[in-house]
């Protein structure tokens, strides 16, 4: 398997993977998420093109997965120190290839790139409804760190 920086030729395949992921979000939270068209997915991905943090996994000359990440540096405040970490924005694997280790290879690549840059922490968000995603990330060495809570206030 080859891991490389994404290019323009990859956008259609990656956009398709992103659309599939968005369908799961829409199904779980239709009041929050909007279905994503292939065209809009391509446009959003185009913004990250040529970034070293936009990678693809290629198997037999076919793109079968991708990841988008960036290095974040926070400023010191009165209560927090300067901090540098990697934020994994997106990761996706072709539905037909899930469970074959592609996602783990992508995660290991991100970890190795972070290590080269002296970055020791990787953070990501995963929805409470995504039990499969939580299990995958835990198998990849991630642990729960903080929680987002939500309270819906009905209008009166």
Residue 97 sits in a domain whose CATH number is: 3.40.630.30
Residue 147 lies in a domain: no
Residue 146 lies in a domain: no
Range of the domain at 55: 2-139
- The predicted-structure confidence for 96-141, as pLDDT tens digits, reads as follows 999 999 999 999 999 999 999 999 999 999 988 889 999 999 999 9
**pLDDT attached to residue 87:** 97
Positive or negative torsion for Cα 97, 57, 136, 126: negative
Euclidean distance between CA atoms 80 and 64, whole angstroms: 39
- The predicted-structure confidence for 6-25, as pLDDT tens digits, reads as follows 999 999 999 999 999 999 89
Residue 113 lies in a domain: yes
Closest CA to 55 of 41, 67, 70, 42: 67
Residue 155 lies in a domain: no
**pLDDT attached to residue 156:** 56
- The predicted-structure confidence for 17-69, as pLDDT tens digits, reads as follows 999 999 989 998 898 899 999 999 999 999 888 788 999 999 999 999 999 99
Could you give the number of structural domains in the chain?
Answer: 1
**pLDDT attached to residue 7:** 94
Residue 109 lies in a domain: yes
Residue 156 lies in a domain: no
Residue 154 lies in a domain: no
**Token match 């997965």: residue?**
65
Residue 153 lies in a domain: no
Mapping DSSP to helix (H, G, I), strand (E, B) and coil, where does residue 87 land?
strand
Q: Is the pLDDT of residue 146 over 90?
A: no
> Which residues, listed in sequence order, are joined to residue 84 by a DSSP beta bridge?
73
At 155, is the pLDDT very low, low, confident or very high (cuts 50, 70, 90)? Answer: low
CB within 8 A of 140, min separation 6: which ones? 103, 104, 107
């Amino acid at each position: 398997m080859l891991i490389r920086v994404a290019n323009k030729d990859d956008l259609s395949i990656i956009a398709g993977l992103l659309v599939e992921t968005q369908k799961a979000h829409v199904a779980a939270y239709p009041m929050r998420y909007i279905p994503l068209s292939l065209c809009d997915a391509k446009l959003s991905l185009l913004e990250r093109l040529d970034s070293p943090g936009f990678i693809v996994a290629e198997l037999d000359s076919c793109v079968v997965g991708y990841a988008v990440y960036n290095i974040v540096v926070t400023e010191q405040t009165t209560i927090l120190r300067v901090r540098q970490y990697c934020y994994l924005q997106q990761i996706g694997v072709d539905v037909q290839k899930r469970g074959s280790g592609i996602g783990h290879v992508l995660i290991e690549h991100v970890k190795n790139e972070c290590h080269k840059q002296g970055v020791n922490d990787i953070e990501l968000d995963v929805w409470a409804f995504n039990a499969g995603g939580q299990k995958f990330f835990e198998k990849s060495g991630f642990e729960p760190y903080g929680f987002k809570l939500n309270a819906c206030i009905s209008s009166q």
